[in-house]
């Protein structure tokens, strides 16, 4: 029975004496503790930011521990001064810790899904729980310094008083070369010869209607012709000028023509007469003409350094006579963004771009560009404008209005940049010069509203001929 009790096994009586089981000692050795060198050991001490604590709710601020000895009080003041920045001898022993001092929490970077994503670390928040987020500075738009395409334009004249390039709303570019007018399709790069005026005449100006179907041509003999571009057929011929008609401007149904004879004629294509009225105010050749976008006012510039503003009722005298320019005024452009805002540019002796409020005749601003201003054009997609220049730098400049900060300066022409036109989508311009080249530049931003725009087909590099 003793062996049964010892083994604590329930065995038959005959086997209890023959079976002996000795207990085997079992030793458990714990595995050695391996400390990872990359693992950081953190202490269990937590030090709160006392600026965000509400110690006063627990009567911890108002009831400091009593001082047993005077020397201990002086020591605590010195310690508080070193840790919390409090001057010795002032402040409460439990003064709150300034958040700009030690033991400050580090703001965690929020996850991308958080509405506060993008806030930097360490940002201070006001009592309302919202932080002031500074708007990042917008990087300036990058404008290519080289043209996307270059066309050879033989016989493109180097004459400041002519206007030989225009781009239609149907994406056709009209160019006057010598005695002929050529059409270049920006979509297909196809070149079509529209007309030839003959050896005794020459092309002095081209201007598309706003619909882009008809082209007006001013000639060296003072005639103004209207051509149907789809049929390559002349449909009207206006006379009235004594010498060359170097500048043209369309309103809805009125075609204005300026000439070396100092007069501006108004042609109405709906009536059989050559012209319906004459604006006579310049004392020298008329070289700039532009209708306002609402067709109410016509601005004219002349070699007499004057900028005149007309309306349909002022057949005898202009409603404004602006004489601040000191050289010929060819560059004229009405703003599409602000009613009554007119920009004008002066020639070599002036070099300035001036801005006018035609409602009261006041000059708003004047910028000295440093060289002859040949053309001006506003961007219809943004409040910017481009100017082309002659003597002495032959450059193209893009400006931000109204600050008139310079966005870009483009060079490439070796002669005066006398001709300028904008694409229908408002993003690309074409410039022409006496170096007999047409250069296409992508300088303006896209429209904010998505509108279908035809493919201009001008963005392949290379140099081709327009005729």
Residues 410-444: tens digit of each pLDDT? 999 999 999 999 999 999 999 999 999 999 999 99
In the DSSP assignment, the letter for residue 295 is S
Lowest mean pLDDT among 34-43, 274-283, 350-359, 370-379: 34-43
Helix (H) or strand (E) holding 78, with range, is helix 70-84
**pLDDT of 120 over the 50 cut:** no
**pLDDT of 455 over the 90 cut:** no
Helix (H) or strand (E) holding 109, with range, is none
66-102 per-position pLDDT tens digit: 545 555 777 888 777 777 765 544 444 444 444 444 3
221 Cβ contact list (under 8 Å, min separation 6): 200, 201, 243, 244
Q: Is the dihedral of CA 201, 203, 206, 212 positive or negative?
A: positive
**pLDDT of 364 over the 90 cut:** yes
Q: How confident is the model at residue 461 (pLDDT cuts 50, 70, 90)?
A: very low
Query: What residue has token string 């042609």?
Result: 267
Q: Is the dihedral of CA 368, 370, 376, 381 positive or negative?
A: negative
Which tokens belong to 313? Answer: 């009722």
**pLDDT of 19 over the 90 cut:** no
The whole-angstrom separation of Cα 28 and Cα 454 is 85
**Which of these, 401, 319, 306, lies nearest to 360 by C-alpha position?**
319
Cβ burial of 189 (10 Å; 0-12, 13-18, 19+) is middle
Residue 72's pLDDT is 76
Cis peptide before 221 (omega within 30 of 0): no
Q: How confident is the model at residue 51 (pLDDT cuts 50, 70, 90)?
A: low
Share of the chain above pLDDT 90, in %: 63
**3-class state of residue 354 by DSSP:** strand
**Global model pTM greater than 0.85:** no
Q: Which residues pair with 329 in a beta bridge?
A: 346
The whole-angstrom separation of Cα 297 and Cα 289 is 11
């Amino acid at each position: 029975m003793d062996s049964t009790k010892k083994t604590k096994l329930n065995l038959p009586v005959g086997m209890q004496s023959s079976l002996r089981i000795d207990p085997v000692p079992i030793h458990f050795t714990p595995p050695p503790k391996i400390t990872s060198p990359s693992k950081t050991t953190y202490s269990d001490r937590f030090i709160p930011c006392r600026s965000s604590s509400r110690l006063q709710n627990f009567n911890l601020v108002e009831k400091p521990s009593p001082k047993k000895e005077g020397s201990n009080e002086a020591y605590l003041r010195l310690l508080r001064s070193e840790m919390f920045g409090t001057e010795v001898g002032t402040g409460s022993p439990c003064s709150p810790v300034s958040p700009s001092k030690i033991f400050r929490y580090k703001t965690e970077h929020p996850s991308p899904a958080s509405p506060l994503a993008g806030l930097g670390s360490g940002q201070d928040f006001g009592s309302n729980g919202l932080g002031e987020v500074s708007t990042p500075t917008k990087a300036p738009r990058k404008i290519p310094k080289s043209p996307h395409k270059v066309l050879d334009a033989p016989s493109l004249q180097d004459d400041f008083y002519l206007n030989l390039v225009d781009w239609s709303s149907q994406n056709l570019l009209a160019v006057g070369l010598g005695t002929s007018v050529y059409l270049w399709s920006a979509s297909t790069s196809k070149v079509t010869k529209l007309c030839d005026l003959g050896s005794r005449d020459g092309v002095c100006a081209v201007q598309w209607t706003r619909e882009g179907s008809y082209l007006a041509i001013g000639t060296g003999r003072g005639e103004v012709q209207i051509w149907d571009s789809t049929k390559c057929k002349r449909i009207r011929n206006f006379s009235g000028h004594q010498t060359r008609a170097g500048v043209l401007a369309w309103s809805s149904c009125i075609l204005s023509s300026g000439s070396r004879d100092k007069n501006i004629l108004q042609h109405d294509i709906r009536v059989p007469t050559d012209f319906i009225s004459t604006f006579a105010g310049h004392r020298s050749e008329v070289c700039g003409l532009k209708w306002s976008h609402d067709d109410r006012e016509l601005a004219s510039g002349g070699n007499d350094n004057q900028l005149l503003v007309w309306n349909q009722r002022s057949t005898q005298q202009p409603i404004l006579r602006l004489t601040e320019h000191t050289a010929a005024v060819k560059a004229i452009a009405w703003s599409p963004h602000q009613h009554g805002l007119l920009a004008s540019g002066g020639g070599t002796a002036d070099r300035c771009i001036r801005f006018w409020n035609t409602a009261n005749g006041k000059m708003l601003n004047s910028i000295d560009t440093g060289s002859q201003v040949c053309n001006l054009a506003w961007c219809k997609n943004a409040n910017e404008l481009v100017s082309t220049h002659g003597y002495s730098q032959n450059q193209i400049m893009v400006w931000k209005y109204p600050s008139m900060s310079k966005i870009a300066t483009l060079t490439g022409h070796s002669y005066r940049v006398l001709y300028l036109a904008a694409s229908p989508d408002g993003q690309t311009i074409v410039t022409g010069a006496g170096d007999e080249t047409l250069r296409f530049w992508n300088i303006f931003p896209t429209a904010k509203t998505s509108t279908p725009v035809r493919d201009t087909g001008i963005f392949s590099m290379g140099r081709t001929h327009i005729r």
